Amino acid sequence: MRNLNQDTITQAVLARLATTPDARLKEIMTSLVQHLHAFAREVKLTEPEWMQGIEFLTATGQMCDAKRQEFILLSDTLGLSMLTVAMNNDKPLGCTEPTVFGPFFLEDAPRFELGADVGGGAKGEPCMVSGSIKALDGTPIPNALINVWQADADGNYDVQYAHLAKPQARGIMNADASGNYHFKTILAEAYPIPSDGPVGAMLKATKNHPWRPAHLHFMIDAPGYERLITHVFRDHDQYLDSDVVFGVRQSLVADWIKQPDGTYSLHYDFVLNPKTGT
């Protein structure tokens, strides 16, 4: 292990990983080292450049707290989040497609009855959301657990406001016995991801915008079915073809229809994939 150079260092590191008892960890770490070293060689990475990279990653970690996950933003904006979703969610034709989770989900969102207003005073035009949750054969899935969350008309999620006393524009409810759901909320609007940190600096340096097209987040759980994490996007949004996190799928784009009284409505039906072996 002495006198290692650029031609021998990679094999020395791999040899040290050879005794890793967890086979999957060994596979991941081995591949990581190989690709990381190959990357450094390919771009002829300099010491100042690598120090700049370390400072960037350090700053990314320092931006993370209970309400801000800068590493998720980094993963999202590099397309890694969507790649992982696509690789791990190869569902049968007809199932609702998944997309990225995002950094603004909360485990302890308030519970609501069907028909309630989950907006909670969030700024935005009123919107009624409804639809159904079914299996691939069209059978209704009763009492599915539904998590929803979204940004307000100013482009902010509730967790981005320090002054709020309670959550807004998010909630948990159950579909009814026939698999139907409906609730009140606000109209989805396009918004920029937080760009005051290292991820924002990266986007600026690469001349990319920070905007996401208007969407409403859904996470749906039901016994015997795979969890679905997805969005419903608002049709005609200017950022549908340039989503900063690469999350748009055409099947998830829907009309948010303006009503005569000035409010909006969205109807979207979800199809869940059964769990393997059930």
Q: Could you read off the pLDDT tens digit of each residue along the chain, which spans 278 residues? A: 789 999 999 999 999 999 999 999 999 999 999 999 999 999 999 999 999 999 999 999 999 988 889 999 999 999 999 999 999 998 999 999 999 999 999 988 999 999 999 999 999 999 999 999 999 999 999 999 999 999 999 999 999 998 898 999 999 999 999 999 999 999 999 999 999 999 999 999 999 999 999 999 999 999 999 999 999 999 999 999 999 999 999 999 999 999 999 999 999 999 999 998 64
pTM, two decimals, is: 0.92
CA distances from 65 to 68, 71, 234 (A): 5, 11, 30
pLDDT at position 157 is 95
Q: CATH for 70-271, among 3.40.718.10, 3.40.1520.20, 3.30.420.10, 2.60.130.10?
A: 2.60.130.10
Q: Which residue has the tokens 């959550």?
A: 167
